[in-house]
Amino acid sequence: MRLGGLRIFALLALGFAVGTQPARADSGTDLLAKNLAARGGAEKLAAISSIQFTGRLIVPGNFELTYKETRGRKNGEALYESSIQGLTLVQGFDGKVGWRINPFEGRRDAERMTEDDMRALADDATIDGPLLSSKARGATVAYLGREDFDGTDAYKLRVVEPSGVQYMYFLDPDTYLEIKVVETRTLRGARQVTQTEYGDYELVNGVYFPFEIESGPLGSSPDQHQKVLIDSARANVPVPDMMFAMPAAPGKK
């Protein structure tokens, strides 16, 4: 479960002028179950085959774009669209191939993503999110105890995927929903760590999704964060395969 993704901002920049406690062996499993229940339960989550969010994206420097994110369950497909001046940055993943269209410098043809970039996009794209899909993805989950996050004594869970990508989840102790995740992955051989905060959870077809997402490089100041503010969400929207396929010809987005 992750809306947006810091990597959007990196693309947008182009055209603009301007203390841990010992863990119990089964605590990770317990917390996963509580998180699943808090989100709405396995049945309701599984009933969502696709989801679409629309809202605003605010990137550092106070630039505002429209935002649309569409995710499908069948292939883990996803489409992110951010627009300004009628130009739309598109990032897509069809289950196998990641691609993008960045029109801000005058090109509208789709570019294929690197494997690392695609993996990052794909990992973000799952409807269930890395935490709840950890078992299915063969990831290991460890409970690391409690840790303060901005005044909340959060549960800290570490999810390590077979690829080596690591997510450090912080669960709100009252609701068991994610309030922060620190994601560590390797891009082009270099370690990249991003932090994302979640809030304003709303029910979508009986499942809680965050409607406010703030993210940035770990340790960056709030002014350097990207914010996604969701206005509306729809579950089980039609998501034909071609919607996510990399355009063969220059894009018309």
Partner 1 sequence: MSTISMLVRVLFGVAFSFAATLTAASAAPVDSSTVSGLGVRNIGSAQMSGRIAAIAGRREKDGKTTLFIGAASGGVWKSTDGGTSFEPLFDKQPVQSIGAIALDPSHPDTIWVGTGESWTRNSVSIGNGIYKSTDGGENWTNVGLPNSERIARIIVSPKNGDVVYACVPGKLWGDSADRGLYRTTDGGAHWSLILHGGNLSTGCSSVTMDPEHANVLFAGLWDFRRKGWTFRSGGDGPNAPSGSGLYRSDDGGTTWTQLTAATNAGLPKGPWGRIEVVIAPSNPNMVYAFIESVRSALFVSENGGRSWQERDRSQRMVWRPFYFSRIVVDPTNDQRLFKMNLFLIVSDDGGRSFSNSNGGSHGDWHDVWIDPTNSKHIVGGDDGGLWISYDGGSKWWKGDNLPISQFYHVSVDNKDPYQVYGGLQDNSDWVGDSAYPGGITNERWENLYGGDGFYTFPDPTDANFAYTEAQGGTIARVNRKTLEARDIQPRAGYNEKLRWNWNTPIALSPNDPATIYIGSQFLFRSRDHGTTWDRISPDLTTNDPQKQLQEKSGGITVDNSAAETYTTIYSISESPRNAKVIWVGTDDGNIQLTQDGGASWRKVSTNLPGLPNGTWVSWVEASRFDAATAYATIDRHSFGDMGTYLYRTTDFGKTWTALVSPQTAGVRGYAHVVREDSVSPNLLFLGTEFGLWVSVDAGQGWAAFKPGNFPAVAVRDMMIQPRDNDLVLATHGRGIWIVDDLSPLRSLSSQTLDAQVAFLPGRPVQQRIQSNGGWVDGDAVWVGENPANGAVISYYLHSRQVIGKLTIDILDPSGTVVDTIAPGKRKGLNRITWSMLTKPPVVPPAAQIAGAAVQGPRFLPGTYTVRLTRAGKVYTMPLTVGLDRRATFTLADRKAQFDAANQVKGIFLRMSALVGEIAALRAEAGALAGKLPAADPLRAELVQFDQRADALRKLVVATTEGGAITGEQRLREDTADVYGAIMATEAAPTPYAVARVAVLDRELGDVEKSLAVLTGAPMRDLNVKLKAKSLPPLTVISMTSDAGDTVDAGDGAARTIFQGMVGARYLGTRITSGAAPEDR
Residues that bind partner 1 (CB under 8 A): 15-20, 56, 58, 62-66, 81, 83-88, 103-108, 144, 147-152, 158, 166, 168, 172, 174-175, 177, 179, 184, 189-191, 193, 197, 199-202, 208, 211-212, 214, 218-219, 221-223, 227, 229, 231, 250
Nearest approach, Cβ of residue 221 and partner 1 (Å): 5
147: tokens are 């840790």
Nearest approach, Cβ of residue 40 and partner 1 (Å): 12
Nearest approach, Cβ of residue 69 and partner 1 (Å): 14
What distance in Å separates the CA atoms of residue 48 and residue 50, rounded to the nearest whole number?
Answer: 6
Return the number of the residue (95 or 187) whose C-beta is nearest partner 1: 187
Return the number of the residue (106 or 240) whose C-beta is nearest partner 1: 106
Return the number of the residue (138 or 164) whose C-beta is nearest partner 1: 164
Return the number of the residue (77 or 172) whose C-beta is nearest partner 1: 172
Nearest approach, Cβ of residue 123 and partner 1 (Å): 18
Beta bridge mates, 91:
80, 100
Sign of CA dihedral 113, 117, 123, 124: negative
Characterize 146-167 residue by residue with b for buried, 16 or more Cβ atoms within 10 angstroms of its Cβ, and e for exposed. Answer: bbeeeebebbbbbbbbeeebbb
Nearest approach, Cβ of residue 42 and partner 1 (Å): 19
Return the number of the residue (108 or 137) whose C-beta is nearest partner 1: 108
Return the number of the residue (95 or 199) whose C-beta is nearest partner 1: 199
Nearest approach, Cβ of residue 76 and partner 1 (Å): 25
Beta bridge mates, 212:
199, 229
- SS3 (DSSP) at 78: strand
